[in-house]
Amino acid sequence: MPARKPKASTSSAVAAETSQHATDNTAHGPPMPTNESGHPPPRRWRWSPLTDSSTSSRPPIFTRDGSHFFSIVGSAIKIHSTTSGKIISTLPGSRDDGHTDVITSAVLSPQNAFQLITASLDGTIKIWDFLEGVLLRTIGLDQSIHHVCTHEKIKDHLFVAAVKNKNSKSLSQDPPLVGHTDNPQHESCIVLRVSLKTQGTSSPDKAQKPSQVVPIGKTRSTAGLAISASGERLIAIAGHKAYVAQISNLKSGFTKFVSPELLTCLAVHPFEDYFATGDAKGVVRLWYCLDPKLVKVVGVEKKSQTSTLHWHAHAVSSVAFTTNGAYLLSGSEESVLVIWQLHSGKREFVPRVGSPIKNIVVSPPRVTEEEYLLGLADASYAFVSSSTLKLSRVFARIRLDPFVSNSWPSSSSAPLAFHQPSETLILPSSHPSSLQTYSPSSFTLIAELEVSPSNRVSRREDKVLEPSRVERAVISSNGEWMATIDRREGDESFRGEIYLKLWFWDKKTTFWILNTRIDRPHGLAKVTSLSFRPGVEDVQVVTTGEDGNVKAWRIRRTKNKKGNEEVSWTSRSSFSLRSDIPRHTSWSPDGSLLAVPIGSSVVLYDPNTNATQQSFVIQECRQPSEAHFIGWSGRYLAVMGGVDLVVWDVVSQSVTWHLKNRHRYNMVMSHPYHDTFITIHSTARDSTSSLVTLFRATSPTPLMEYTLPFGILNIAFFYQPSLPFSSDFSLVALTHKYGVVVMGDDFMLPEDPGASAKALRRHPAAPRRSLFEEMFGVPAIAGLSNSNEQTREPATDLGSGGGVVVPWRSSDTTSFFDAPSHLMPPIETFFEPLIDSFLRLRTTDDEIPAAQTEDGIAEIEDDMPVDSVQETDPVNASVVSNEAVLGVFVPLFKEMADAPDYAYGSNKKVTPPKAVNGSAEKHTKPISRVPTKNSVRSAIQLLSPVQTTPLITTKTGRKRSRPSLD
């Protein structure tokens, strides 16, 4: 229905009703705490980030045994467990002074495998004992360091690529990779050999000068620095050139080799003297310039023999060789890991890893199989199995990709909500078409919700494909429903899409389930606001759009043919507000009034009838953009518009106070239980800082002002069960860099177990598996370690064999059947011996389980005599020697190989039978190449912890009568 003309006064009946409504709600609201003077106590806000400040483009580093890996996060080092992905410790600890700027590189010390060397833009090199979590020494160079490399043959020196501070750009962020920005850095770097020995001894925190620094040569801003496998050549890449220096003769400087494209990443072969690079055009190039015989001089430039591998459509972000040197891994923006077989040039793919690949690291040789660790752009880590080429596990806290998020249009809003029943946050994910749920209490990423299914295809050339974006997400007050708006912009060949989706919270699966999808709720017009009506009963959703309409949506309950109730959402009502566009809605605490700013006025509606209850024009705020009910009572409205802030008294229908600010207000947040609210506005043009001001509804004097070192895109109230009805603010905010922070007067978060430096536990290294063990499994081999036995599943009661761990229940033995088929013996050779080891022949009635007699089934005794059985003790696999194992399996394999129909490995040529008069000759049945039961049975009996029961001949007795079913 059309709105009535705004006016400054309303009927006395409406005023009286509103006054009674406000009075009733005030009576139920908790009182505001005050001190002795009657004023609120002084407030001091604090904030704590839930996400890391930045993600580094530098690859993670494995420990020597591969049990942990290090990741660079700003000026700190996170130590992760390889198995669980949890952060075990953080460097520096509270006792040590860490780097004052971003860490750009980290390597293991060539002198001690339990020491880590880090370098930073602050011009220092720090050596850490990561087992104890302490700082050992600090070396100062007074130059910003971009790369560091070491080699096990060069114990006392390391090589660094440094740049003087006056030529370096911002020192507050990770230096961008060449090829990943439109304006690559052009400053000059100098490559140095730095001694790990210092000139003096002092405290670990105080920087010491190295005893020797040898300059090698100048380059452009380096994109990679490494030492060849032999330790004889130093390699650096920068710009369009690869620089090679002979370590034994550093005075000769670098030899330069030209690349046709901008180089972005570097990796050296683990055994042979050549290296690989990736460039900005997606080409992987192998360089053979480390061998002087393959270098040709053409004019003033030297050219080397190279080979190229090309699949990527965008700049290659990382390359890495496998430990055996047979394969090369590469990754890029396509979110696809490419595995190149070097001797043949063939390739395999691991697609859809979840996010663009930033770096690739190969795990060191361990007991288990080789794995590839991918550092993704959304700050998550993914492990890829080398045998199955599938993602084995992914570790992430909050997946936020700043590069994807910053590409969102400035007009789009960022979804943010708090689900109170599960105490989880609803956040935007690394892909704009998805949401993620995160638990702040456990620091765990719970799930990812794909709101709008979309093909995650990378951009074509320089044009980014426009994806569907989740713009808004709100949750009902009872936590049962969530509403989202996702939209995709249209273009010349595509008509835009926009959907309103209602999701139901399933308590059994603890996940959101799509209930209703509404196509184009406001036509092709953009949805400007989305809100739920407070209360448990009569849940409604109200949307406003640029088409000028306010629409309400309700729940519809119907019964299907089977008589089951079905719940869905449908349109309830719609009304327009002249030619103005409504951009915000606010509900009173009890849901009886709906405030809509429109034009130069604010209109209050009855949501049941859509009738206008009150309409007023605020002269002090010409263009109100938002209006919020304040506190528990709902008596006051905080109206925001530009630089003006007005508080309106709904009961007296007058302006309580007005405040004009120097900067434009960005948002207003009301306290749900008290008559206080905060305003947030930026203090700088680039939105890198925000000022939070706390007001009481009855006074324009701020109760508190606090400056935050970041801009804010969206905020939500962070409810905490431990602080019910508290007057303190506890908020969660999404920053302008798409970080997540918790802020407020008082909030309680559990201590992050990996936020401080802790000593790492050292476990004895397990012996490496042999090829025989890899083929047939560890549980079938003698000499099992205690650690392996402890990881087995609990024992199962098997009669007389109770308490013994059966090998087929072990996870290691189960994984044996996941091996490639060409490595496994014929499955029929294991069937009968395996079944015999499961089944135990019952020879006496005393072995009948007691549970059967308790069920009321009476067993009739018989006097059937049986032969006595001489039971043998079970064989302990842990005491069987390897010679005994080979003594069983070698004859078994020989028997298989000598079979007439076993063509593999036999020198005899198998000829088909001759045909006589059109029919084949009758021939005897060939001997099966399957081993005999006795040979396989002997192998199973030798290796199985449970002795297989021998065949027993029993005497014939009288037939046992069948139990009665009565």
pLDDT at position 723: 62
Q: Which pair of tokens denotes residue 539?
A: 């849940």
| Rounded-to-integer distance, Cα 867 and Cα 956, Å | 11
Confidence grade of residue 924 (pLDDT, cut at 50, 70, 90): very low
- Strand ranges inside 644-745, DSSP E: 644-649, 654-660, 665-670, 676-682, 690-696, 699-708, 712-717, 730-735, 740-744
Q: Which pair of tokens denotes residue 879?
A: 């005491």
From 161-165, 609-613, 692-696, 911-915, the region with the lowest mean pLDDT = 911-915
Q: Which pair of tokens denotes residue 909?
A: 């040529």
The percent of residues above 70 in pLDDT, for the chain, comes to: 66
Q: Which pair of tokens denotes residue 923?
A: 């021939």
Helix or strand run (H / E) with residue 14:
helix 12-28
Confidence grade of residue 538 (pLDDT, cut at 50, 70, 90): confident
CB-facing half-sphere around the CA of 185: CA atoms within 13 A: 21
**pLDDT tens, position by position, 253-304:** 888 898 999 999 999 999 998 999 999 999 999 998 887 766 655 445 677 7
Compute the mean pLDDT over every residue in the chain, rounded to the nearest whole number: 76
Contact 764, 748 (CB under 8 A): no
pLDDT of 799 over the 80 cut: no
From 351-365, 628-642, 894-908, the region with the lowest mean pLDDT = 894-908
Residues 6+ apart with CB under 8 A from 793: 805, 809, 810, 811
pLDDT at position 369: 80
Sheet with 222-227, strands from edge to edge, namely 222-227, 233-238, 241-246, 255-258, 301-304, 295-298
**Average pLDDT for residues 224-235, to the nearest whole number?**
93
**pLDDT tens, position by position, 115-138:** 999 999 999 999 999 988 889 999
The long-range contacts involving 458-465, CB below 8 angstroms and separated by at least 24 positions, are: 458/313, 458/314, 458/333, 458/334, 458/335, 458/356, 459/314, 459/333, 460/313, 464/407
Sheet with 497-506, strands from edge to edge, namely 469-475, 481-488, 497-506, 511-519
Confidence grade of residue 841 (pLDDT, cut at 50, 70, 90): low
| Rounded-to-integer distance, Cα 363 and Cα 324, Å | 12
The model carries a pTM of 0.70
Sheet with 357-362, strands from edge to edge, namely 357-362, 371-376, 381-385, 391-395
Q: Which pair of tokens denotes residue 911?
A: 């000829």
Side chain identity, residue 83: T
pLDDT at position 902: 57
**pLDDT tens, position by position, 480-526:** 999 999 998 877 777 788 999 999 999 998 999 999 999 999 998 99
DSSP result, 160-184: EEEE-TTT---SSSPPPPTTSSSS-
Handedness of CA 760, 764, 770, 773 (dihedral sign): negative
CB-facing half-sphere around the CA of 733: CA atoms within 13 A: 26
Confidence grade of residue 46 (pLDDT, cut at 50, 70, 90): confident
**pLDDT tens, position by position, 416-445:** 999 999 999 999 988 888 999 999 888 888
Contact 400, 428 (CB under 8 A): yes
pLDDT at position 689: 86
**Burial classification of residue 484, based on how many CB atoms lie within 10 Å of its CB (0-12 exposed, 13-18 middle, 19 or more buried):** buried
Among residues 119, 262, 257, the alpha carbon closest in space to that of 177 is found at 262
Side chain identity, residue 657: W
Count of all residues that appear for the chain in the document:
966
**Average pLDDT for residues 770-784, to the nearest whole number?**
51
Helix or strand run (H / E) with residue 394:
strand 391-395
Contact 326, 341 (CB under 8 A): yes
Which of helix, strand or coil describes residue 883?
helix
Phi, psi (degrees; rounded to nearest 5) at 425 = -100, 140
pLDDT of 536 over the 80 cut: no
Question: Which of 167-181, 197-211, 454-468, 854-868 is modeled with the greatest confidence?
Answer: 197-211
**Average pLDDT for residues 690-718, to the nearest whole number?**
90
**Average pLDDT for residues 339-366, to the nearest whole number?**
90
Exposure string (b/e) for 56-78, b if CB count within 10 Å is 16 or more?
bbbbbbbbebbbbbbbbbbbbbb
Residues 6+ apart with CB under 8 A from 94: 756, 757
Contact 116, 136 (CB under 8 A): no
Exposure string (b/e) for 425-437, b if CB count within 10 Å is 16 or more?
bbbbbbbbbbbbb
**pLDDT tens, position by position, 891-906:** 777 777 666 655 555 4
| Rounded-to-integer distance, Cα 274 and Cα 215, Å | 24
Q: What is the 3-state secondary structure (H, E, C) of 182-228?
A: CCCCCCEEEEEEEECCECCCCCCCCCECECCEEEEEEEECEEEEEEC
From 225-239, 638-652, 806-820, the region with the lowest mean pLDDT = 806-820
CB atoms within 10 A of CB 950: 13
Which of helix, strand or coil describes residue 304?
strand
Among residues 51, 92, 62, 58, the alpha carbon closest in space to that of 75 is found at 92
pLDDT at position 818: 57
In order of 40, 43, 677, the CA distances from 702 in angstroms are 11, 11, 10
Phi, psi (degrees; rounded to nearest 5) at 219 = -140, 175
